[in-house]
Structure 1
Amino acid sequence: MSHDAECPFCNPSIDFNQKIIFENNSCYYLQHTEQQEVLQGSGVIVPKQHRTNTFDLTKEEWGDTYELLQQAKDYMESELSPDGYTLGWNVGEASNQSIKHSHLHVIPRFNDEPLAGKGLRHWLKQPENRRVRDN
């Protein structure tokens, strides 16, 4: 099994603020206490094997990710009754992947949030994000 001794997702218990909420054969659903202050109920689904790139997930890991995503949704529905969800992967530095272990963000969203209605693409579509290219 591929494992990185320094990786917080390969070693979920090294950070006492990080909790395993659910797990199955190949993946964890984790929540971090510090993330709960602004992104209440949010968590990440990560493969247990160290996979830097989401495109390298196995079929089993994709299936187990789906299974945990459904469990996480049911859990959040019963605990928080969100109005929607933002789901997303960042892959590589250009997308701001800060932890080099593939992880799916699962973020419940609420109509009374100051940024309600602004999803993953909102910030990317801003004019200041336009690339300058030579023609």
Structure 2
Amino acid sequence: MSYNENCVFCNQEIEKRQKQILSNEHCIFFQMPQEVLIGSGVIVPKMHRENVFELTEEEWMGTYSLLKDVKQHLDELHQPQGYNVAWNTNRAAGQHLFHSHLHVIPRFEDEPLAGKDLRSFIGVRENKRND
């Protein structure tokens, strides 16, 4: 299936806060307003693919290419000291939206949970940086 009308990434009218920041022929980088994980977003294939293992070779290459562009964009905008980049695949691994999406999360040395892995800081309000 290449389009799912009930998918927040296929049908962008479902989640209007979601903003398309960058794209290429195969993928889009979306961001939502964030209070804690400033600059974070997801790279998704334009075609509906349930998980990363369904990506075509062209979508893999498009993801890689867009990831480099996203990093350059976020480096210029936020100057992070590191990144977490990850896919959650299937329910057992924490996937909740079943359209493949690569999380791109800038990390900063002044975060209260700096140096911790993904499970330690996602959704944790205590990790909010001072404004």
* TM-score calculated relative to the size of structure 2: 0.87
Displacement of 1:53: 1.8
User: What RMSD in Å do the two structures reach over aligned CA positions?
Assistant: 1.5
The answer on 1:3 being equivalent to 2:38 is no
Separation in 2 of the partners of 1:23 and 1:55?
A: 21
The residue identity in structure 2 corresponding to 1:98 is: H
Separation in 2 of the partners of 1:113 and 1:53?
A: 30
State the identity as a percent. 54
Bigger CA drift: 80-89 or 47-56?
47-56
Q: In the alignment, is the contact (CA less than 8 A) between 2:51 and 2:101 conserved in 1?
A: no
The residue identity in structure 1 corresponding to 2:37 is: L
Separation in 2 of the partners of 1:84 and 1:55?
A: 26
Match of 1:61 in 2: 59
Structure 2 unmatched ranges of 5 or more? 122-131
Separation in 2 of the partners of 1:53 and 1:121?
A: 20
Partner of 1:30, secondary structure, is: strand
Q: In the alignment, is the contact (CA less than 8 A) between 1:110 and 1:116 conserved in 2?
A: yes
Instruction: Tell which structure's C-alpha radius of gyration is larger.
Output: 1
Equivalent pairs counted in the alignment come to 121
Higher helix share: 1
The answer on 1:16 being equivalent to 2:16 is yes
The residue identity in structure 2 corresponding to 1:23 is: S
* TM-score calculated relative to the size of structure 1: 0.84
Match of 1:32 in 2: 32
The residue identity in structure 2 corresponding to 1:117 is: G
The answer on 1:99 being equivalent to 2:97 is yes
Displacement of 1:13: 4.2
